[in-house]
A and B are shown apart, each in its own frame.
Chain A
Amino acid sequence: MSFYNLSSTSSGDLAAIAQITRDAGVNLDDCYQCGKCSAGCPLSDEMDLYPRKVIRMLQLGQVSAVLKSRAPWVCATCMTCTARCPQQIDIDSLMLSVRHAAKRAGLRPVREADIFDDLFMAGVRRYGKSNEALLAARFNLSSGHLFQDVLNAPKMAKRGMIGPSLHKVKDRAAMRRLFGRALRTTEGEKGDGI
């Protein structure tokens, strides 16, 4: 049983929660805490807060604990929670919005997930296509997990699954412009739906 000090919730916390739910297209009041999201989540045993509890804490205004949680970073966006929610709450989208808010606040509760996704996007920004071997190598160097999967590399090379050449788009400058504009667009002027 956990206890939360509800009197510590500030209007700033409530504003932060309002932005998260607006970005996610979710109404927290729809959730009556049945727990189906957490029961079906394949990664819940890796989460410090089950999806149900993420929603409950946001309902209670406890945004700072949620922003520090590993849960949205452990989420694999498999969308099982969203598919099964009897209230049609887009929990998957809520997890994404919490992660976006945490990142904006300079938090990264699961370092490896942050490194992997940033490196993935850096590669796409540069080449326009994802080059899996380069991504895996850069991930190992940046994360410090130097020898992860290295024994698979020669096997993959032998099977023609990885090679020395890089896949690229022709118009690489267009990719850089696209990334610049997509990441510059500010919060609060989102389109309709998600």
Chain B
Amino acid sequence: MRYAYFPGCSAASTGISFTLSASYVAKRIGLELVEMPDWCCCGTSAALVTSRDLAHALPARSLALAEQAGLDLDVVTPCAGCFSSLKRTVHYARQSDKNRHRLEEIIELPYAATADVMSLLEVMARPEAMEPLAAAITKSLNGLRVASYYGCALVRPQEVTCFDDPEDPQSMDSLMELAGAEPVRWAFKTECCGASHQISEPHGARRLIARVFENAAANGAEAIAVACPLCMLNLDMREAGINESRAVPFDIPVFYFTELLGLAMGGSARRLGIDRHFWPTGKAVRKALAPPPEPSPDNHSTSELPQEVTVA
């Protein structure tokens, strides 16, 4: 498994834990990621609200530079926002030669749109990755109840993303199940986290986050798994603030799906970036990594914790 890799702007900053955990898992399962040369910002929704040409041209430049460098590989990106921008551009370029030439003119580079774009979640949920994943998973996550949160950009619009069900996707749930977690059935898998509106219009957008936590809590989730650095930041960093106005506070840690896979492979919380979270993860990690109960009838010694795990 070898892919061109588009890290996205958050990979070395707010999404650092995604990068740490994804590269850990990738290495363990033989997934080779070759960083694209001089890639630029995908533009995300800010480019889209500015100009459609700009929103297509920014990803096209990165994709064309990879072609020019002879990187004849499909593209994988961990960030759901980058995935959406890149995938939309490939879709647009393949619709007609007129579209492709229009982009070539703007980016001053030839662009054949030969490479496909996939999210890291999609790549890891493919059979060729699931097999080595199953082999590398040495610990069961002990039935930790995980609500898989996909957000918007991975699943909509389906004719562009070509990935999973837009209302009830299953790929992340399957990965969580593979790691020994118990997937939670819940209604907010593909609801919006508010994206950048959490900065530009926090008054109206905060309740979007609260609703996600509320539905996860109502369905007994002990953790939420995400596949997008902005979903992560909006949920994890803002949970404490949301709790300030609540009589009964939420207590649900948020993990990148790659962090939970990494834990199940024996990776340490520090190595996977879990120690960088805002909301405490200790309780969920302890449950996930507790040794399985002895198959004896006299069974009350399951609370011993693995010593090497230090978490926030």
Q: Note whether A and B form a binding pair.
A: yes
Chain A interfacial positions (CB closer than 8 Å to B): 23, 42-43, 45-46, 74, 76-80, 82-83, 90, 92, 96, 99-100, 110, 112-113, 115-118, 120-121, 124, 128-133, 136, 139, 148-149, 152, 155-156, 159-163, 167, 169-171, 174-175, 177-179, 181-183, 185, 190-194
Point out which of B46, B96, B191, B278 has the most chain A C-beta atoms below 10 A from its C-beta. Answer: B46
Determine whether the beta carbon of B40 is less than 8 Å from that of A169.
yes
The verdict on B253 contacting chain A, using a C-beta distance below 8 Å, is: no
**Which residues of B have CB within 8 Å of A96?**
48-49, 52
**Do most interface residues of chain A lie in helix, strand or loop, or is the interface mixed?**
helix
Q: Measured between alpha carbons, how far is A179 from B53 in the docked complex, in Å?
A: 9
In the bound assembly, the distance between CA atoms of A166 and B196 in angstroms comes to 20
Write out the residue numbers on chain A whose beta carbons fall within 8 Å of the beta carbon of B9.
129-132, 167
Cβ A178 vs Cβ B57 within 8 A: yes
Listed A/B pairs (15) with beta-carbon separation below 8 Å: A42-B191, A76-B45, A79-B152, A79-B156, A112-B200, A117-B50, A120-B46, A121-B43, A132-B10, A152-B237, A161-B14, A162-B14, A179-B54, A182-B54, A182-B57
Tell me the bound Cα distance from A147 to B5 in angstroms.
36
Query: Contact string, B50-65, partner A, CB cutoff 8 A, digits 1/0?
Result: 1111100110010000
* Per-residue interface assignment for chain B, residues 141 to 179, with 1 indicating a CB less than 8 Å from any chain A CB and 0 otherwise: 000000000001000111000000011000000000000
> Are B47 and A132 interface neighbours, CB within 8 A?
no
Give chain A nearest CB distance to B6 CB in angstroms.
12
Q: How far, in whole Å, are A175 and B10 apart by their CA atoms in the complex? A: 19
For B208, the chain A residues whose CB sits under 8 A away are 42-43
Is B95 in contact with chain A by the CB < 8 A criterion? yes
B13 contacts A148, C-beta separation under 8 Å? no
Size of B's binding interface in residues, CB under 8 A:
59
- A78, A100, A149: the one contacting B51 at CB < 8 Å is A100
Q: Tell me if B108 and A174 are in contact (CB < 8 A).
A: yes
Contact between chains at B52 and A139 (CB < 8 Å): no
Known interface pairs A178-B58, A182-B57. Does A76 touch B197 (Cβ–Cβ under 8 Å)? yes
Contact A116 B53 (CB under 8 A): no
Cβ–Cβ < 8 Å partners of B61 in chain A: 174, 178
Q: Are B201 and A74 neighbours in the complex by a CB distance under 8 Å? A: yes
Report the Cα distance A178→B106, complex, angstroms.
6
Residues of A within 8 A of B183 (CB): none
Query: CB within 8 Å of A: which of B199-216?
Result: 199-202, 204-205, 208, 211
Contacts of B92 in A (CB 8 A): 191, 193-194
Residue B23 CB within 8 A of the other chain: no
List the A side residues contacting B96 at CB < 8 Å: 191-193
CA distance A123 to B195 in the complex (A): 18
Q: How far is the CA of A65 from the CA of B277 in the complex (A)?
A: 44
The answer for the CA separation of A46 and B205 in the assembled complex, in Å, is 9
Q: What chain B residues lie within 8 Å of A161 (beta carbons)?
A: 13-14, 16, 276
Contact yes or no, A78 B13, CB < 8 A: no
User: Using Cβ atoms and an 8 Å threshold, which residues of chain A touch B45?
Assistant: 76-77, 117
Task: Report if B268 contacts A (CB, 8 A).
Answer: no
Q: Which residues of B contact A23 (CB under 8 A)?
A: 52
